[in-house]
Structure 1
């Protein structure tokens, strides 16, 4: 049976993070993940994780200033980017979180490429016990984002050459940009550190739209994937009312 992780950046986003963890546990999720937990005391978050027995799979580095979407590929922002990487590592260690998504930001070109590789190398070597994730974002939701596809991500991983650097395979973003998810999962499996799901194109619950996630869950099962899939979707109403898909996909 496939496991699922509640992304608390979108699910139960109206609750303080510790309470959202408890809500995910009540709903039957196997793990949790989040975006930016930094407004919450890590001790309170760790207490909620310990209380529920859920693991926090991942969190993001900060976006930066208003309107920004990460710092780690931005020329002239290296000191700030590494300070945010340090902050994310410290928070992850404090709560027992296993992965950090290092957000690139808006940029392009060889200089941004070199800066991102340098910052990723710094993150990987500073926290070798953690998985460092990079995630391509689609051009509609994040126009101008530096990391815009799996080929670019694979190239960055080859250049950085760090054993704990992995790809965040977000089915929602990659269906919009590249499609052919089944073959792409098969090809990229050795590079993947986490998989996320949401309906395409509306980013709602994974029970409608272009992608049949019953098929995707079966593909991943056949490939030997045994980690929880991240439910990173936007409910149109109360989160608890959007969870009918859980039983549907668990039955695959």
Structure 2
């Protein structure tokens, strides 16, 4: 049974960012992920995490309000991407983060893909012990984002042929993009190095919408998946009052292990 992480950018927002790791640990999460941890120092996060593993961060996106969504696939922004990646890699090293989600940015076309592949190969060479995750994002929520299809991501991962580079499989985005998250998993599961879950179609608490969470976890076990399952959703109420899904999956794990 996988370990579960809380996305602290989206969960436990009832309290300040540095107070969220403690709540996540109390709620039964095994680890945490943070989209953009750059507003606080590594020392502040070390204190706040208090031993709770931080398992994923994103590369800096740029000016989000102005429409930036990262720069890895944006022609002409190679230096900006590389500076941002090194910043992410340094923080990951300080906080023992095993994996970074490299944000592709708003771009399209063959030149964008060439830039993306070159930047990914460069990033992998700079930090050979750091996992790199590529996450397809659905075009309704992220208009113009370069990486918007799991088949596209699979092809790029295969073309790179680097063990440290894999797909970030978000159930919710897979369902939005392809209409069949289970089918996406069946096709691309061996390429996946990080999993995220949410309810569908509302992106609230995990479960429903045809998502068999217990079945997914069983499939992860069967395929030998060694990564994390992260809860990345918008709580419909106070986070601590919507964690029945976590308790159920942990209870199932205990029964299987008994």
State the TM-score, normalizing by the size of structure 2. 0.91
Q: Which residue of structure 1 aligns with residue 150 of structure 2? A: 150
CA RMSD, Structure 1 to Structure 2 (Å): 1.7
* C-alpha contact 2:171 2:198 (8 A) present in aligned 1: yes
Aligned partner of residue 54 in structure 2, secondary structure = coil
Q: Which residue of structure 2 aligns with residue 63 of structure 1? A: 61
Aligned partner of residue 106 in structure 2, secondary structure = coil
Give the C-alpha shift of residue 144 in structure 1: 1.6
Q: Which residue of structure 2 aligns with residue 124 of structure 1? A: 124
Question: For residues 64 and 105 of structure 1, what CA distance do their matches in structure 2 show?
Answer: 9
Q: Which residue of structure 2 aligns with residue 108 of structure 1? A: 108
Question: For residues 60 and 44 of structure 1, what CA distance do their matches in structure 2 show?
Answer: 18
Task: Indicate the larger mover: 1-10 or 121-130.
Answer: 1-10
* C-alpha contact 2:193 2:227 (8 A) present in aligned 1: no
Give the C-alpha shift of residue 30 in structure 1: 0.7
Q: Which residue of structure 2 aligns with residue 29 of structure 1? A: 29
Give the C-alpha shift of residue 67 in structure 1: 1.6
Q: Which residue of structure 2 aligns with residue 177 of structure 1? A: 177
Aligned partner of residue 236 in structure 1, secondary structure = coil
* C-alpha contact 2:172 2:181 (8 A) present in aligned 1: no
Q: Which residue of structure 1 aligns with residue 243 of structure 2? A: 243
Aligned partner of residue 24 in structure 2, secondary structure = helix
Task: Indicate the larger mover: 61-70 or 219-228.
Answer: 219-228
Matched, 1:18 2:32: no
State the TM-score, normalizing by the size of structure 1. 0.93
Give the C-alpha shift of residue 184 in structure 1: 3.1
Question: Gaps spanning 5+ residues in structure 2: where?
Answer: 253-258
